[in-house]
A = this chain, B = another copy of it.
Amino acid sequence: MSHVYKDYRPPWIEEKPPDRSFRSIFKWGDPAAYKHPNERLYKLMKKTFNMTDEDFRKPFEIGYDPVDQEFPIRMKPEHMERFKKIVGEENVSQDLYHRLGVSYGKTMIDSMRLRKGIIENVADLVLYPRSTEDIVEIINYCNQEKIPIYVFGGGSTVTRGMEAVKGGISLDMRRHMNKVVAFNEVDQTITVQAGMQGPDYERVLNEAPNNELKAKRRYTCGHFPQSFEYSSVGGWVVTRGAGQNSTYYGKIEDMVICQEYVTPTGIIKTPYYPAMATGPDLDEIMMGSEGTFGILTNVTLRVFRYQPENRKKFSFIFKNWDEAMAAAREVMQAEIGYPSVFRLSDPEETDVAMKLYGVEGTIIEKILNMRGYKPMERCLFLGWTEGEKTFATNMKRKIKKICRKYGAMYTTGYITSSWEKGRFRDPYMREDLQDFGIMIDTLECAVTWSQMKAVHEGVRSYCKSRPQTICMTHMSHCYPQGANLYFIFIAKMSEIDDYLQYQTGILDHIQQYGAAMSHHHGIGKMTAPWLEHQIGKNQYEIFRVLKNHFDPNMIMNPGGTLGFDLEEEQKRNKIRK
């Protein structure tokens, strides 16, 4: 995005956060990287939030202070000694900076708390386990001594997934549990440890012919969440994640072949087969357990042939949301295969996207206006097909035909390429905005086609009922039966309680209008108060039965995750703890 401003340009922060600062914990992504709003977006914010250049003179709550408070360790010294014995002294840390770093993720209130220097819900000790055997010993000891266990994978949770509400220990899986365990090119499967980070995983597959995999071909993992750069394979699995290409490659559940978990009750190792009719599906029981049943140590996944050269990008502008949705549904139900990236922006997001991707004010926009694709009505649909070359080409042709039938104008792959360039970096803007008291956050949910309009209108109208609020929505991760709806809201807001009240209202409306509380972010501690109502009492009881089996002493990710130890007050008032 262009850094050139014609008029006043706020002093966006570009330097790497100071070592051991709060900012170094809450800042998303590559410490040295940034992405600023371009001038158009800056002006939109000023206008929307009634702000002036004056409001953007000096960033505040920027978290430059070092993490050097006193914060008590509430763990008996004998426990600490035991953990040092299990994993080795060098693999235990009681440094508050490390403890804080693994206890918070990227949930909006994490960053709000850290900007204000609020420290709470922090693990007493960080452990860096080296192996499944280490984890077995740790869990056995914790189970015996009733010490809470949290797990840190990549740190990208937006649901307070691994927040150490009850103290205890947190296992940071990044240091050692990050290796390839096995690769089977005949079956196109790979087994990796849970702490492997997304980019490392994709790299090892892309470069498979030239590394220890000694493969005949290059492969891809097919899983690219927006958090890709700082997410772990294990995190994807235990939260039931989805990548931006999931319409073609599937959610992570569709890629997992088998898994190994260490639970207080023993090791769970699911079998390695392509399909089965041998009772309930064990993988589907363990996935989505978010650390409350046990710790995922390694996972075997499908991999796919890497053929980026076959990608066929496209973008279209539709006259309105209804026609765009109808076209999207038609694409998904037409039996032509599924596209890979598939993203339809509603009018407000389209408007912002045209600013972001530099379409506003160009000849393209003029043509659009002339042809009746009006601002705040028109919708941008972008994506690409992939797979084998003729397969991808044929699908793009069919998509074009369908979109035209619904009145769309083809706007080439140019916008799609702009989107692709920014797809992991757009969230970096969060820091710039928050530096000046503007909150940008997202919520997502899964909806059937028949319910889509009601959910979009209902949730959006709640979001917009707050004055001076931007609410952009897009539909992505599509299925023949429905899709994910993704809400992005931007408001002038920097107080935690304001934020929580607003967020609670959005979640209430998502639920009320008939969407699943999460399509791919998981439940964590944040959405947990809604979960039982979401799936119903008898169904929720099944979760509880499993929990009691795996973790009778409630030591695994305690403090509300998936709602297992929510207190009545939390359920009623949906408050955080």
Contact = CB atoms under 8 A, between A and B. Distances in A.
Interface of A: 184, 186-189, 239-242, 251, 253, 257, 265-282, 284-290, 302, 304-305, 307, 329, 333-337, 386-388, 390-391, 394-395, 397-398, 446-450, 477, 479-484, 515-523, 531, 534-536, 538-539, 541-543, 545-546, 549, 562
Contact of A531 (B278, B516, B518, B531): B278
A274 B305 contact: no
Contacts of A397: 390
B450 A187 contact: yes
A549 B545 contact: yes
A285 B288 contact: no
Nearest to A326: B186
Among A253, A284, A481, A541: residue with most chain B CB under 10 A: A481
Given A273-B447, A446-B274, A516-B273, A188 B480 contact: yes
A323 B390 CA distance: 24
Contacts of A531: 278-279
Contacts of A267: 538
21 contacts: A189-B448, A189-B481, A239-B277, A271-B536, A275-B482, A276-B446, A276-B519, A277-B522, A280-B285, A280-B543, A281-B284, A281-B288, A302-B480, A304-B335, A304-B480, A305-B334, A335-B387, A335-B391, A390-B398, A391-B395, A546-B546
Contacts of A520: 275, 277
Nearest 3 A/B pairs, CB to CB: A284-B284, A274-B482, A335-B387
Contacts of A541: 265-266, 549
B265 A538 contact: yes
A446 B242 CA distance: 27
A326 to B, nearest CB: 10
B483 A274 contact: yes
Contact of A515 (B273, B336, B546): B273
B446 A275 contact: yes
A300 B277 CA distance: 20
B335 A273 contact: no
Nearest to A520: B277
A281 B278 contact: no
A286 B515 CA distance: 22
Given A282-B535, A335-B388, A518 B398 contact: no
A517 B281 contact: no
B307 A269 contact: no
Contact of A273 (B272, B336, B395, B448): B448
Given A187-B482, A534-B271, A523 B287 contact: no
B538 A266 contact: yes
Contact of A388 (B275, B336, B543): B336
Contact of A307 (B271, B280, B329, B335): B335
A522 B290 CA distance: 29
B275 A484 contact: yes
A179 B473 CA distance: 39
